[in-house]
Amino acid sequence: METAATVAVGENAYQPMKIVLSLTNYFYTILYPIILTIMRRLLNFMIIAALATAVASCNKAQDNNGRQEASATSQEETAEASTATESMVVEINQDELTKAVGDLTQPTWTNAGKRPVVIDFNATWCGPCQKLKPVLNKLAAQYKGKVDFYSVDVDENQALASALGINAIPHVLVAPVGKKPQAIQGFDSAEDFASQLAACLK
Protein backbone atom coordinates (compact mmCIF):
# COMPACT_ATOMS: atom_id res chain seq x y z
CA MET A 1 0.00 0.00 0.00
CA GLU A 2 2.78 2.40 0.83
CA THR A 3 4.54 1.57 -2.41
CA ALA A 4 1.41 2.15 -4.48
CA ALA A 5 0.73 5.39 -2.67
CA THR A 6 4.30 6.48 -3.20
CA VAL A 7 4.12 5.71 -6.90
CA ALA A 8 0.85 7.58 -7.27
CA VAL A 9 2.28 10.65 -5.58
CA GLY A 10 5.34 10.55 -7.86
CA GLU A 11 3.23 10.45 -11.03
CA ASN A 12 1.11 13.36 -9.86
CA ALA A 13 4.27 15.35 -9.14
CA TYR A 14 5.37 15.05 -12.79
CA GLN A 15 2.03 16.20 -14.23
CA PRO A 16 2.71 20.00 -14.03
CA MET A 17 6.10 19.52 -15.68
CA LYS A 18 4.52 17.56 -18.49
CA ILE A 19 1.98 20.31 -19.00
CA VAL A 20 4.71 22.95 -19.10
CA LEU A 21 6.74 20.92 -21.56
CA SER A 22 3.68 20.35 -23.68
CA LEU A 23 2.83 24.05 -23.72
CA THR A 24 6.43 24.97 -24.49
CA ASN A 25 6.51 22.51 -27.36
CA TYR A 26 3.19 23.87 -28.63
CA PHE A 27 4.52 27.43 -28.46
CA TYR A 28 7.74 26.70 -30.35
CA THR A 29 6.20 24.41 -32.95
CA ILE A 30 2.98 26.32 -33.69
CA LEU A 31 2.70 29.77 -32.11
CA TYR A 32 6.32 30.93 -32.47
CA PRO A 33 6.46 30.54 -36.29
CA ILE A 34 3.14 32.40 -36.55
CA ILE A 35 4.33 35.22 -34.28
CA LEU A 36 7.66 35.40 -36.14
CA THR A 37 5.88 35.63 -39.48
CA ILE A 38 3.60 38.40 -38.18
CA MET A 39 6.58 40.33 -36.78
CA ARG A 40 8.49 40.01 -40.06
CA ARG A 41 5.51 41.26 -42.03
CA LEU A 42 5.02 44.12 -39.57
CA LEU A 43 8.71 45.03 -39.84
CA ASN A 44 8.54 44.94 -43.65
CA PHE A 45 5.46 47.14 -43.57
CA MET A 46 7.20 49.65 -41.29
CA ILE A 47 10.27 49.72 -43.57
CA ILE A 48 8.11 50.25 -46.66
CA ALA A 49 6.14 53.00 -44.90
CA ALA A 50 9.37 54.72 -43.82
CA LEU A 51 10.78 54.55 -47.36
CA ALA A 52 7.54 55.88 -48.82
CA THR A 53 7.58 58.78 -46.35
CA ALA A 54 11.22 59.56 -47.19
CA VAL A 55 10.54 59.47 -50.95
CA ALA A 56 7.49 61.69 -50.52
CA SER A 57 9.54 64.18 -48.49
CA CYS A 58 12.29 64.24 -51.13
CA ASN A 59 9.77 64.73 -53.93
CA LYS A 60 8.13 67.55 -52.00
CA ALA A 61 11.50 69.22 -51.38
CA GLN A 62 12.45 68.87 -55.06
CA ASP A 63 9.07 70.24 -56.09
CA ASN A 64 9.52 73.25 -53.80
CA ASN A 65 13.04 73.82 -55.15
CA GLY A 66 11.75 73.51 -58.70
CA ARG A 67 9.04 76.07 -58.01
CA GLN A 68 11.54 78.46 -56.41
CA GLU A 69 13.94 78.08 -59.37
CA ALA A 70 11.08 78.54 -61.83
CA SER A 71 9.96 81.64 -59.94
CA ALA A 72 13.51 83.04 -59.91
CA THR A 73 13.91 82.30 -63.63
CA SER A 74 10.57 83.95 -64.35
CA GLN A 75 11.61 87.04 -62.39
CA GLU A 76 14.93 87.21 -64.25
CA GLU A 77 13.18 86.85 -67.60
CA THR A 78 10.69 89.54 -66.61
CA ALA A 79 13.54 91.83 -65.58
CA GLU A 80 15.38 91.18 -68.84
CA ALA A 81 12.20 91.74 -70.84
CA SER A 82 11.61 94.97 -68.96
CA THR A 83 15.18 96.08 -69.66
CA ALA A 84 14.77 95.22 -73.33
CA THR A 85 11.48 97.12 -73.48
CA GLU A 86 13.04 100.16 -71.82
CA SER A 87 16.12 100.07 -74.04
CA MET A 88 18.39 103.07 -73.68
CA VAL A 89 19.80 102.57 -77.18
CA VAL A 90 18.15 105.26 -79.31
CA GLU A 91 17.13 104.33 -82.86
CA ILE A 92 18.16 107.23 -85.05
CA ASN A 93 18.43 108.27 -88.72
CA GLN A 94 21.14 110.24 -90.51
CA ASP A 95 19.59 113.69 -90.04
CA GLU A 96 18.96 113.14 -86.33
CA LEU A 97 22.45 111.74 -85.87
CA THR A 98 23.99 114.78 -87.58
CA LYS A 99 22.14 117.09 -85.19
CA ALA A 100 23.28 115.05 -82.19
CA VAL A 101 26.97 114.52 -82.94
CA GLY A 102 27.81 116.33 -86.19
CA ASP A 103 28.17 115.22 -89.81
CA LEU A 104 29.78 111.78 -89.83
CA THR A 105 30.32 111.95 -93.59
CA GLN A 106 33.00 114.61 -93.17
CA PRO A 107 36.54 113.14 -93.30
CA THR A 108 37.57 115.23 -90.30
CA TRP A 109 34.48 114.39 -88.22
CA THR A 110 34.88 114.32 -84.46
CA ASN A 111 32.16 113.84 -81.87
CA ALA A 112 30.47 117.21 -81.38
CA GLY A 113 28.08 115.91 -78.75
CA LYS A 114 28.11 116.48 -75.01
CA ARG A 115 29.04 112.88 -74.18
CA PRO A 116 30.94 110.01 -75.80
CA VAL A 117 28.82 108.14 -78.33
CA VAL A 118 28.42 104.53 -79.42
CA ILE A 119 26.78 104.18 -82.83
CA ASP A 120 25.65 100.70 -83.84
CA PHE A 121 25.13 100.17 -87.58
CA ASN A 122 22.90 97.12 -88.03
CA ALA A 123 20.03 95.49 -89.92
CA THR A 124 17.01 93.42 -88.92
CA TRP A 125 18.13 90.46 -91.08
CA CYS A 126 21.63 90.36 -89.57
CA GLY A 127 21.98 87.52 -87.02
CA PRO A 128 25.09 88.85 -85.23
CA CYS A 129 23.44 92.30 -85.06
CA GLN A 130 20.45 90.84 -83.21
CA LYS A 131 22.77 89.03 -80.79
CA LEU A 132 24.62 92.29 -80.14
CA LYS A 133 21.45 94.27 -79.34
CA PRO A 134 20.84 92.94 -75.79
CA VAL A 135 24.54 93.41 -75.05
CA LEU A 136 24.31 97.06 -76.12
CA ASN A 137 21.15 97.47 -74.03
CA LYS A 138 22.98 96.30 -70.91
CA LEU A 139 26.01 98.45 -71.65
CA ALA A 140 23.77 101.47 -72.26
CA ALA A 141 22.26 100.94 -68.81
CA GLN A 142 25.74 100.50 -67.34
CA TYR A 143 27.00 103.74 -68.92
CA LYS A 144 23.75 105.63 -68.29
CA GLY A 145 24.37 109.38 -68.15
CA LYS A 146 27.98 108.94 -69.26
CA VAL A 147 27.74 107.61 -72.83
CA ASP A 148 25.02 107.99 -75.48
CA PHE A 149 24.10 104.87 -77.46
CA TYR A 150 22.55 105.06 -80.93
CA SER A 151 21.27 102.45 -83.38
CA VAL A 152 21.29 103.05 -87.15
CA ASP A 153 19.53 100.69 -89.59
CA VAL A 154 21.77 100.51 -92.69
CA ASP A 155 18.83 99.57 -94.94
CA GLU A 156 17.03 102.78 -94.00
CA ASN A 157 20.21 104.88 -94.05
CA GLN A 158 22.09 103.49 -97.04
CA ALA A 159 23.64 106.82 -98.01
CA LEU A 160 25.26 107.20 -94.59
CA ALA A 161 26.50 103.61 -94.53
CA SER A 162 27.94 104.02 -98.02
CA ALA A 163 29.62 107.34 -97.16
CA LEU A 164 31.28 105.71 -94.15
CA GLY A 165 32.40 102.71 -96.21
CA ILE A 166 30.48 100.24 -94.08
CA ASN A 167 30.31 96.98 -96.04
CA ALA A 168 29.94 94.52 -93.14
CA ILE A 169 27.78 94.58 -90.04
CA PRO A 170 27.53 94.80 -87.13
CA HIS A 171 29.77 97.86 -87.32
CA VAL A 172 30.03 99.97 -84.18
CA LEU A 173 31.62 103.43 -84.04
CA VAL A 174 32.87 104.62 -80.66
CA ALA A 175 33.80 108.29 -80.30
CA PRO A 176 34.74 110.17 -77.12
CA VAL A 177 33.90 113.90 -77.14
CA GLY A 178 36.10 115.85 -79.57
CA LYS A 179 37.87 112.74 -80.81
CA LYS A 180 37.77 110.71 -83.99
CA PRO A 181 35.77 107.48 -83.90
CA GLN A 182 37.17 104.00 -83.51
CA ALA A 183 35.43 101.02 -85.07
CA ILE A 184 34.47 97.66 -83.57
CA GLN A 185 33.55 95.22 -86.32
CA GLY A 186 31.67 91.96 -85.85
CA PHE A 187 30.51 90.34 -82.63
CA ASP A 188 32.04 87.32 -80.88
CA SER A 189 31.01 87.55 -77.24
CA ALA A 190 29.58 90.01 -74.74
CA GLU A 191 32.78 89.98 -72.67
CA ASP A 192 35.01 90.66 -75.68
CA PHE A 193 32.79 93.46 -76.96
CA ALA A 194 32.56 95.12 -73.53
CA SER A 195 36.35 94.99 -73.25
CA GLN A 196 36.82 96.58 -76.69
CA LEU A 197 34.25 99.25 -75.90
CA ALA A 198 35.94 100.16 -72.62
CA ALA A 199 39.29 100.47 -74.41
CA CYS A 200 37.80 102.73 -77.09
CA LEU A 201 36.19 105.02 -74.50
CA LYS A 202 39.48 105.73 -72.70
Indicate which residues carry an active-site annotation.
126, 129
Distances from the Cα of 197 to the Cα of 29, 178, 181, angstroms: 91, 17, 12
SS3 of residue 82 by DSSP: helix
Distances from the Cα of 11 to the Cα of 7, 25, 73, 128, angstroms: 6, 21, 90, 110
DSSP state letter for 149: E
Q: Which amino acid is at 125?
A: W
Nearest in space to 146 (alpha carbons), one of 185, 104, 174: 174
DSSP string covering 91-125, please?
A: E--HHHHHHHH--TTSTT--B-SSS-EEEEEE-TT
